């Protein structure tokens, strides 16, 4: 007599949730550390050269900005400085004089033609080199290689009831929004992409996004 197929008490969605939990909790951090170590022989000389060029104008080489990390903990996310030293003043004057730019800022929290960005900063952003110092954030466990793009406290309000899709994860150097959402940049799309990532979290998703990020860097948009 053939044996009956054993009954599985765990549904497929529950299995998927458990797999995502185990990957996020126990595997993803090891992948991050391994990728950081592999990237250092190339990343450190590039950061050093870019830092030297940025410092030529006399300003600070690194820029740290406060963002919301996993679980709502505030972290300092590091970048190579791409803006003028009085960036806040320049932004305020620009938004006051340009209603369309002000509307874009409210919707996207970014500007297509940002007067704060230096000429060198435009080049660094074009190839995403300004974000290389965030490898330090990944090493410290504050960020991940792949995850939601870091947001400010004010921006977190845009997520509404979907805040858990952001807060459950470490912010990422790259992710779905960084790869697929940079051209449009609206916050509704950003929240949708972060929510989709939370539902697709697995090793192959992260590796695929890393490969797509490298392709975006090789064919940069600068946005």
Q: Are strands 74-80 and 62-68 parallel, antiparallel or unpaired?
A: antiparallel
List the structure tokens of 200: 């697709």
Task: Check pLDDT > 70 for residue 77.
Answer: yes
Greater confidence (164 vs 8) lies with 164
pLDDT in the model for residue 107: 73
Over residues 134-189, the pLDDT tens digits come to 999 999 999 999 999 999 998 888 888 889 889 999 999 999 887 886 655 577 88
Q: Are 109 and 187 in contact (CB under 8 A)?
A: yes
Structure tokens at 46: 């590039």
d(CA 67, CA 91): 19
Instruction: Please tell me the number of Cα atoms within 13 Å of 73 on its side-chain side.
Output: 12
Dist. CA 12–CA 170, nearest whole Å: 26
> Is the pLDDT confidence value at 114 over 70?
yes
Question: How many whole angstroms separate alpha carbon 122 and alpha carbon 120?
Answer: 5
Which of the four pLDDT bands, split at 50, 70 and 90, describes residue 7? very low
Query: Which pLDDT band holds residue 117 (cuts at 50, 70, 90)?
Result: confident
Query: Is the separation of the CB atoms in 75 and 92 below 8 Å?
Result: no
Q: Is residue 221 predicted with pLDDT exceeding 70? A: no
The burial of 104, by beta-carbon neighbours within 10 Å (0-12 exposed, 13-18 middle, 19 or more buried), is given as middle
Q: What are phi and psi of 85, to 5 degrees?
A: -65, -35
The pLDDT of residue 185:
57
90's tokens: 């320049």
Whole-number pLDDT of residue 172 = 95
Return the pLDDT at 3.
39
Q: Which residues, at least 6 apart from 92, have a Cβ–Cβ distance to it below 8 Å?
A: none
Q: Beta-strand (E) ranges in the chain?
A: 62-68, 74-80, 144-146, 172-174
pLDDT band at 2 (very low <50, low <70, confident <90, very high): very low
């Amino acid at each position: 007599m053939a044996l009956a197929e054993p009954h599985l008490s765990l549904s497929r969605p529950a299995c998927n949730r458990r797999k995502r939990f185990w990957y996020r909790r126990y595997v993803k951090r090891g992948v991050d550390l391994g990728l950081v170590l592999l990237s250092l022989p190339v990343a450190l000389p590039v950061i050093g050269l870019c830092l030297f060029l940025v410092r030529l104008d006399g300003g600070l080489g690194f820029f740290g900005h406060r963002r919301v990390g996993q679980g709502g903990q505030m972290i300092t996310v590091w970048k190579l400085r791409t803006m003028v030293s009085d960036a806040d003043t320049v932004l305020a004057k620009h938004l006051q004089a340009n209603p369309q730019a002000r509307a874009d800022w409210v919707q996207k929290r970014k500007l297509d033609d940002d007067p704060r960005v230096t000429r060198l900063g435009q080049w660094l952003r074009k190839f995403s080199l300004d974000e290389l110092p965030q490898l330090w954030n990944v090493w410290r466990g504050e960020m991940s290689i792949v995850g939601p793009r870091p947001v400010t406290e004010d921006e977190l309000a845009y997520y509404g009831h979907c805040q858990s899709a952001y807060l459950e994860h470490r912010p990422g150097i790259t992710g779905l929004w960084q790869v697929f959402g940079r051209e449009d940049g609206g916050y509704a799309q950003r929240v949708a992409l972060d929510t989709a990532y939370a539902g697709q979290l697995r090793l192959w998703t992260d590796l695929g996004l890393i490969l797509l990020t490298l392709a975006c860097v090789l064919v940069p948009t600068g946005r």
